[in-house]
């Protein structure tokens, strides 16, 4: 007899998680949702990027934060955990973010030197901004009628003003310590950020295990909040 249960017809569900700072907060939540990674997942020396879960029905991909959104949007992973900053930057139509996990809380802000240097050039409505988030940044300044030239950096944005690369930065802020240590002040909050459970829309429609996973994360998040 042929077994046509969803898990057999679809193969293991792939769940993508960011390898950076969200992970420590995400793992207890994943475990409450029944997604318990194999021991090797916790071994920092292990060079594997794909891990089994203890039920043997899922695979966990450990990738860079921005890449979680890309894997899920293209259906290479069916679900994952990522910051709302990343969701907003990509704006992938194939991503659905049904659960706010309440972890990874921070904000995306515009910052400038304590003693601002005028790096505008040409005309007064054109400025340079260093950021890992060029799309959110352009949209933010456009709304104010300012044309921002965004210079994409992948980290250490805080060095841009003092080195003359850009007059302002758009970066994540939590305690504000990084800005302070680098002689910068927060000028404007663009968005509040928390981490979300994301799923691929097509997978949600075609694979019942994805909807079940969403419910498990919803319950795990409610239990955490209670």
Ligand X SMILES: O=P(O)(O)OC[C@H]1O[C@H](OP(=O)(O)OP(=O)(O)O)[C@H](O)[C@@H]1O
Binding site for ligand X (CB under 6 A): 21, 155-156, 171-178
Instruction: Pick one of 1, 123, 144, 155: the residue that binds ligand ATP (CB under 6 A).
Output: 155
Rounded to 5 degrees, φ, ψ at 85 are -60, -45
Q: How far is CA 207 from CA 5, 9, 134, in A?
A: 11, 10, 34
Q: Residue 40 gets which letter from DSSP? A: G
Could you tell me the smallest distance in angstroms from the CB atom of residue 119 to ligand ATP?
25
Q: Does 190 bind ligand ATP (CB under 6 A)?
A: no
Nearer to ligand ATP, 162 or 174 (CB): 174
Q: Does 197 bind ligand ATP (CB under 6 A)?
A: no
Instruction: Pick one of 37, 80, 83, 161: the residue that binds ligand ATP (CB under 6 A).
Output: 83
Q: How many CA atoms lie within 13 A of 67 on its CB side?
A: 12
The candidate with the shortest Cα–Cα distance to 26, out of 73, 63, 55, is 63
Residue 86 site contact among ligand X, ligand ATP, none (CB < 5 to 8 Å, cut-off depends on kind)? ligand ATP
Q: Which stretch in 48-56, 102-110, 162-170, 218-226 sits in contact with ligand ATP by CB under 6 A?
A: 102-110
Q: Does 86 bind ligand ATP (CB under 6 A)?
A: yes
Instruction: Pick one of 125, 174, 192, 206: the residue that binds ligand ATP (CB under 6 A).
Output: 174
Could you tell me the smallest distance in angstroms from the CB atom of residue 195 to ligand ATP?
6
Q: Is 97 exposed, middle or buried (0-12, 13-18, 19+ CB in 10 A)?
A: middle
Tokens 């991503």: give the residue.
95
The candidate with the shortest Cα–Cα distance to 113, out of 147, 151, 164, is 164
CB 85 within 8 A of CB 96: no
Could you tell me the smallest distance in angstroms from the CB atom of residue 162 to ligand X?
15
């Amino acid at each position: 007899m042929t077994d046509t249960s969803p898990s057999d017809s679809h193969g293991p569900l792939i769940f993508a998680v960011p390898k950076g700072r969200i992970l420590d907060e995400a793992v207890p939540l994943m475990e409450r949702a029944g997604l318990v990674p194999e021991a090797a997942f916790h071994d920092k020396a292990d060079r594997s990027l794909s891990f089994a879960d203890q039920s043997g029905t899922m695979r966990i991909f450990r990738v860079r934060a921005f890449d979680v959104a890309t894997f899920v949007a293209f259906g290479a992973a069916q679900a994952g955990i990522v910051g709302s900053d990343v969701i907003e930057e990509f704006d992938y139509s194939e991503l659905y973010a049904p659960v706010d996990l309440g972890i990874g809380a921070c904000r995306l802000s515009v910052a400038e030197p304590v003693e601002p240097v005028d790096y505008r050039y040409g005309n007064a409505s054109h400025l340079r901004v260093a950021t890992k988030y060029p799309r959110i940044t352009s949209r933010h300044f456009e709304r104010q009628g300012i044309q921002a030239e965004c210079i994409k950096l992948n980290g250490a944005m805080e060095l841009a003003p003092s080195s003359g690369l850009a007059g302002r930065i758009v970066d994540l802020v939590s305690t504000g310590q990084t800005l302070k240590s680098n002689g910068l002040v927060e000028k404007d909050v663009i968005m509040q950020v928390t981490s979300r459970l994301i799923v691929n829309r097509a997978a949600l429609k075609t694979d019942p295990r994805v909807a079940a996973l969403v419910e498990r994360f919803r319950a795990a998040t409610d239990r955490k909040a209670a």
